[in-house]
Amino acid sequence: MKVEATIGKNMQPLLRVENLVKRYAKRSLAGTPEEFLALDGVSFTVFPGTTLAVVGESGSGKSTLAACLACLESPTAGSIWFEGREIAKLEERASRQIRPQIQLIFQDPASSLNPRWSVMEVLAEPLILQRKFTREEIDRRISSLLERVGLSPDIVERSPTELSGGQRQRLAIARALALEPKLLILDEALSALDCSVQAQIANLLVELQGSLGMTYLFITHDLAMAAHLADEIAVMDRGRIVEQGQAQKILKQPEQETTRQLLAAVPRLTLAPPLLEQ
Amino acid sequence: MRYLLRRLGHALLLLAGVSVLTFLFTALAPGTYFDEMRMNPQIAPETIAALRAQYGLDKPLPLRYASWLSSLVHGEMGFSFAYNSPVAPLLLVRARNTLLLTITSTLLAWAIALPLGAWSAERMGRLPDRLLSWGTAMLLVIPDLALALGLLVLAVRSGWFPTGGMASVGFETLSPFNKLRDVALHMILPVTALVLSTLPLLFRHVRAAIADILDAPFLLAALGHGIPKRTLLYRYALPAAANPLISLFGFSIAMLLSGSLLIEVVMSWPGLGPLLLEAILARDLYVVIGGILFSTFFLVGGNLFADLLLYWADPRIRTESNAQ
Amino acid sequence: MKMQRALTRWLLALGALHGTVVCAGFFAPYDPAVQDRKYPYLPPMGVHLVDTQGHLHARPFVYQPKLRLGLFDQYEEDITDPRPVKFLPSGDYYRLLGLLSCRRHLFGAKNARIYLLGTDAYGRDQLSRLLFGGQVSLVAGLLGAGITLFIGLCIGAVAGYFGGWRDTLLMRLAELFMALPWLYLLFAIRAFLPLAVSPLKAFFLIIVVIGTVGWARPARLVRGVVLSAKERDFVRAARGFGATNGYLLRRHILPETSSVLLTQAAILIPQYVLAEMTLSFLGLGVPEPVPSWGNLLSSLQQYSVLISHWWMYLPAVAIVPFFLGYLGLASSLHERGAAYKIESRILGNLT
């Protein structure tokens, strides 16, 4: 059970999103161009050192939100403030500066790590791209990263395809931490793992948050997992946030229909009445 | 209906683009039909200039394209310098001869490849299939040129078949039945060459398509319902494999005019191929353009036909395009 | 693993075949341009170990040919005149790999000429012409395929990676090129360029023409690979580390195209060799006296040659092992590529 983190409410928010809109246009040579509204005016705030969970069904716009926040896509309208700086409408070069500070962890670790590369190359990539580290520094950082996520240092020569799902996700987390980001966005990062492994990685994340003071944006469709890890929960449906608030409150007193449905979808173990009576 | 119109419009656009491209290619090339004449000291340069003016070769490119287009509309497709006649009738006669050859061999090849491919796919991995696969692989690797020449050598040394042309000397005097027989005899060699060169690939594709389908769960379910294997193969699997096969068929149609060039030349069959070659060597500009366009027409038409057939045959494509 | 072994076997086989052609000077007994006016259209010589008296010779030998009595174009073996075969003799000069000047050949005959595949109208050794002709045809195929794949890679990468109007424009262009009948276009382009050029110029001309006509299909395949690679998470992750477009293309996306390019190469090379052969056969390719597999066969267009000189057909047979090798290579590459995809599909589908 996650201990409620003490949040200083007069601290500056790390991330503030206001009325974010993202429209996709499907253009074809003949016929009318179609439009798809992925985000329809999303607003929320995240304070440093806390975890916000964004919960919703597939198609609710969660992944689009993640892409916009990580500066991988540009929103159609609205603003995003990161550490007080507006980052929604940056041009490519400035975006490249900001991106290392907001890292994305993907759902499928098999596809987020290049299978043709070795673990060493995978971990070194972000450091090499920043172009300010020597070879020794990179080696040093790689060992410390592996240690931090609980991976043995002798996997550096192996290929990611030889690792288990849990190991791969640890590797992805290690890689994300390489550039010391301020915000970590986890896009369904635990959904592809086995139950027991999920718990392990969740614990790792909690521990990292405690020791590094990481801020998490945790995107999932699993409300129970969100409650376990997050301070606040925002429920998304069709591009909008329909309910937002403290994790425990959402769980005990859901207001919207969407939230109730998500709650009902969580598998629960109930004991049959005859057994209980004994 | 909208789908049909869209594909048709697309095809017409493609043809127009090709015509412009071809015109550009050939018109920009150095050298014209009259270069040969220029070398001849007996012909005065004024005559040549006059001839060029007569055929409009000295006008700027867009104008020539425009006049060519108008001649196209009139059913002439430009003028042949070598034959001194409009291009279209020339092309049509030769195309007819080519089509005689290619339609026969395409039908034959498909008639052999379909049942053979299905039969082989059913026995995938076992001896008959392995033999067939190896045999067709062998055929595949033999280049068309080698096949055609090889058959020719065979024919010449055995004296069984006529070795060139479409008709024997004295064709005119034969009775209608004998005329047919004569042409058929002349066709044996080129048709064999064509079938042998197209069969292996066709066979492989049919076999692959059906093998893919044979893996499908719905067939297993049908088998579980007690449907006999032969019915399964021909009435269930084959239609399901229709999608890739129809595309293949469209490809066969597309190649109807252009796939037999080499074989026609080697076997002296009076088709589009030798005409084009001749025109190219003589720089008979409009015959070349017309010939290329004609075979492109078949190519594009074949693909369009395949698309339409696919639309009619595969309900998935219908729903997908109707949803758009 | 089994796939890798099959692939290696095909590569070795092809390597051996190509090696023979590359070292044509060594394997061929004579210079391909040397004429022997004494023996035009000589049929292939038989190599014997046992002579007509039943004696076994230590060395294989050939009989000197002589004209049949009363005829001027048919030969028979002069059984009174055996000439032994020499191994590793010193013969005509040639340049090994275009650099070293050598004289040593694999085999020859003592005081005689040995024509294993017969001679042509000018008395030139067909075997030597076959081997040297292979150099011309194979290089034409390889270079042409290289050009096509390079163009296809560039265009496909630009179209797939940048998308938008570039993609639409390039793919429409590709459609146009694919709609044209390839062989016809090849002929037309070649023929409308100057016909009477030096062999070297003609050689490079047809390579360029062949290479630039067929880029459309490889470009579409590359575009497909680039499109799907672009969306892979590891590419997005690299963008998240601040990677530029150039870096992404270079380190992540273009390596994904390697399997497609290799398979296309194995398919295109024999196609292009065949294109060169067809052009040369019809007189539009490499001209005399430079031998190429195509113009070696062009004499067969004459009826007289067809009837009386069947060995002129043999070069066509010699090409078959090469094409077989390429077919095997293409199949095993294709299987390997498909298997890799399945593997990543299994690994990727964890949900």
- The model's pLDDT over A105-151, given as tens digits with 9 standing for 90+, comes to 998 888 889 888 999 899 999 988 888 888 898 888 899 988 888 88
Q: Domain for residue A5, yes or no?
A: no
**Nearest Cα residue to C42 out of C11, C69, C65:** C65
Q: Report whether pLDDT(A274) > 80.
A: no
| Residue whose tokens read 């020339």 | B90
Residues of B in contact with A33 (CB under 8 A): none
The alpha-carbon gap from C340 to the nearest alpha carbon of chain B, in Å, equals 18
- Band (pLDDT 50/70/90 cuts) for residue C272 is very high
Contact, C103 vs C90, CB < 8 A? yes
Provide the pairing of β-strand A232-237 with C56-67. unpaired
The closest CB to that of C179, out of B25, B156, B300, belongs to B300
Q: Under an 8 A CB cutoff, do A110 and C242 touch?
A: no
Residues of A in contact with C350 (CB under 8 A): 108, 110, 165, 192-193
The alpha-carbon gap from C308 to the nearest alpha carbon of chain B, in Å, equals 9
Q: Report whether pLDDT(B212) > 60.
A: yes
Most confident by average pLDDT, A8-22, C93-107, C219-233, C324-338: C219-233
Q: Domain for residue A270, yes or no?
A: no
Q: Under an 8 A CB cutoff, do B156 and C306 touch?
A: yes
Enter the pTM of the model.
0.81
- Band (pLDDT 50/70/90 cuts) for residue A2 is very low
Tokens of A196: 């027991």
Residues of A in contact with B6 (CB under 8 A): 30
Determine the pLDDT at residue A28. Answer: 55
Q: Domain for residue A106, yes or no?
A: yes
Kindly give, in sequence order, each residue whose CB lies less than 8 Å from that of residue B1, ignoring residues fewer than 6 positions away: none
Q: Domain for residue A9, yes or no?
A: no
C75 interfaces chain B, CB cutoff of 8 Å: no
A31 interfaces chain B, CB cutoff of 8 Å: yes
Chains touching chain C at 3 or more Cβ pairs under 8 angstroms?
A, B
Angle, CA B159 vertex, CA B156 and CA B165 arms, to 5°: 65
A72 interfaces chain C, CB cutoff of 8 Å: yes
| Residue whose tokens read 């040093």 | A140
A6 interfaces chain B, CB cutoff of 8 Å: no
Strand ranges (E), chain A: 15-26, 34-46, 51-56, 77-82, 85-86, 102-105, 183-187, 215-220, 232-237, 240-246
Tokens of A74: 């540009």
Q: Domain for residue A81, yes or no?
A: yes
Kindly give, in sequence order, each residue whose CB lies less than 8 Å from that of residue C194, ignoring residues fewer than 6 positions away: B30, B31
Per residue in C313-347, pLDDT (tens digit) is 888 888 899 999 998 898 888 887 766 555 444 44
C233 interfaces chain A, CB cutoff of 8 Å: yes
Q: Report whether pLDDT(A219) > 50.
A: yes
Query: What whole-number distance in Å separates Cα of residue B101 and Cα of residue B262?
Result: 13
More confident residue, C131 or B124: C131
Q: Under an 8 A CB cutoff, do A99 and C241 touch?
A: yes
CATH number at residue A55: 3.40.50.300
Q: Under an 8 A CB cutoff, do B6 and A30 touch?
A: yes
Determine the pLDDT at residue C143. Answer: 94
Determine the pLDDT at residue B320. Answer: 65
More confident residue, C263 or B79: C263
Give percent above pLDDT 70 in chain A. Answer: 89
Query: What whole-number distance in Å separates Cα of residue B14 and Cα of residue A23?
Result: 33
Residues of A in contact with B324 (CB under 8 A): 28, 31
Contact, A109 vs A165, CB < 8 A? yes
Average pLDDT over residues C303-307: 80
Q: Under an 8 A CB cutoff, do B149 and C324 touch?
A: no
Q: Report whether pLDDT(C136) > 70.
A: yes
The alpha-carbon gap from C234 to the nearest alpha carbon of chain A, in Å, equals 4
Residue from C234, C236, C258 to probe the interface with A (highest A Cβ count within 10 Å): C234
The closest CB to that of C300, out of B138, B149, B303, belongs to B149
Q: Domain for residue A3, yes or no?
A: no
Query: What whole-number distance in Å separates Cα of residue B234 and Cα of residue B238?
Result: 5
- Band (pLDDT 50/70/90 cuts) for residue A269 is low
Q: What ipTM goes with this model?
A: 0.81
- Band (pLDDT 50/70/90 cuts) for residue C349 is very low
Q: Domain for residue A105, yes or no?
A: yes
Query: What whole-number distance in Å separates Cα of residue A189 and Cα of residue C347?
Result: 16
Q: Under an 8 A CB cutoff, do C313 and B150 touch?
A: yes
Q: Report whether pLDDT(C17) > 90.
A: yes
- Band (pLDDT 50/70/90 cuts) for residue A4 is very low
A130 interfaces chain C, CB cutoff of 8 Å: yes
More confident residue, C11 or C344: C11
C274 interfaces chain A, CB cutoff of 8 Å: no
- Band (pLDDT 50/70/90 cuts) for residue C348 is very low
Contact, A105 vs A172, CB < 8 A? yes
Tokens of C268: 């295109």
C330 interfaces chain B, CB cutoff of 8 Å: no
Give percent above pLDDT 70 in chain C. Answer: 94
C191 interfaces chain B, CB cutoff of 8 Å: yes
More confident residue, C152 or A35: C152
Residue A180, domain extent: 15-264
Query: What whole-number distance in Å separates Cα of residue A109 and Cα of residue A118?
Result: 14
C281 interfaces chain B, CB cutoff of 8 Å: yes
Q: Under an 8 A CB cutoff, do C241 and A106 touch?
A: no
A28 interfaces chain B, CB cutoff of 8 Å: yes
Give percent above pLDDT 90 in chain B. Answer: 6
**Nearest Cα residue to C170 out of C220, C99, C135, C117:** C220
Amino acid code (one letter) for A155: I
3-state secondary structure of A235: strand
Residues of B in contact with A31 (CB under 8 A): 324
Determine the pLDDT at residue C340. Answer: 58
Tokens of C210: 């062949």
Q: Domain for residue A101, yes or no?
A: yes
Residues of B in contact with A30 (CB under 8 A): 6
Kindly give, in sequence order, each residue whose CB lies less than 8 Å from that of residue C350, ignoring residues fewer than 6 positions away: A108, A110, A165, A192, A193
Residue from A58, A74, A91, A106 to probe the interface with C (highest C Cβ count within 10 Å): A106
3-state secondary structure of A30: coil
Chains touching chain B at 3 or more Cβ pairs under 8 angstroms?
A, C
**Nearest Cα residue to B287 out of B145, B82, B118, B142:** B82
- Band (pLDDT 50/70/90 cuts) for residue B322 is low
Determine the pLDDT at residue C222. Answer: 93
Q: What is the 3-state secondary structure (H, E, C) of chain C?
A: CHHHHHHHHHHHHHHHHHHHHHCHHHHCCCCCCCCCCCCCCCCCCCCEEECCCCCEEEEEEEEEEEECCCCCCCEEEEEEEEEEEEECCEEEEEEECCCEEEEECCEEECCECCCCCCECCCCCEHHHHHHHHHHHHHHHHHHHHHHHHHHHHHHHHHHHHHCHHHHHHHHHHHHHHHHCCHHHHHHHHHHCCCCCCCHHHHHHHHHHHHHHHCCHHHHHHHHHHHHHHHCCHHHHHHHHCCCCHHHHHHHHHHHHCHHHHHHHHHHHHHHHHHHHHHHHHCCCCCCCCCCCHHHHHHHHHCHHHHHHCHHHHHHHHHHHHHHHHHHHHHHHHHHHHHHHHHHHHHHHCCC
Chain C residue with minimum CA distance to A191: C351
A166 interfaces chain C, CB cutoff of 8 Å: no
> What does the mean pLDDT of chain C come to?
84
Query: What whole-number distance in Å separates Cα of residue C232 and Cα of residue C83?
Result: 69
Domain count of the fold of chain A: 1
Give percent above pLDDT 90 in chain A. Answer: 5
Average pLDDT over residues B120-124: 83
A103 interfaces chain C, CB cutoff of 8 Å: yes
More confident residue, A171 or B237: A171
Q: Under an 8 A CB cutoff, do C239 and A129 touch?
A: no
3-state secondary structure of A271: coil
The alpha-carbon gap from B156 to the nearest alpha carbon of chain C, in Å, equals 6
| Residue whose tokens read 């008709």 | B167
Q: Under an 8 A CB cutoff, do B18 and C181 touch?
A: no
Average pLDDT over residues A36-60: 86
Average pLDDT over residues A240-248: 84
The pair phi, psi for residue B154, each rounded to 5°, is -60, -50
Alpha helices (H) in B142-226, listed in sequence order: 144-158, 176-214, 217-224
Rounded to the nearest 10 degrees, the angle between the axes of helix C199-213 and helix C182-191 is 140
Q: Report whether pLDDT(B49) > 50.
A: yes
Contact, C176 vs B17, CB < 8 A? yes
The alpha-carbon gap from A114 to the nearest alpha carbon of chain C, in Å, equals 6
- Looking at the DSSP bridge assignments, the partners of residue C100 are C96
Residues of B in contact with A28 (CB under 8 A): 324
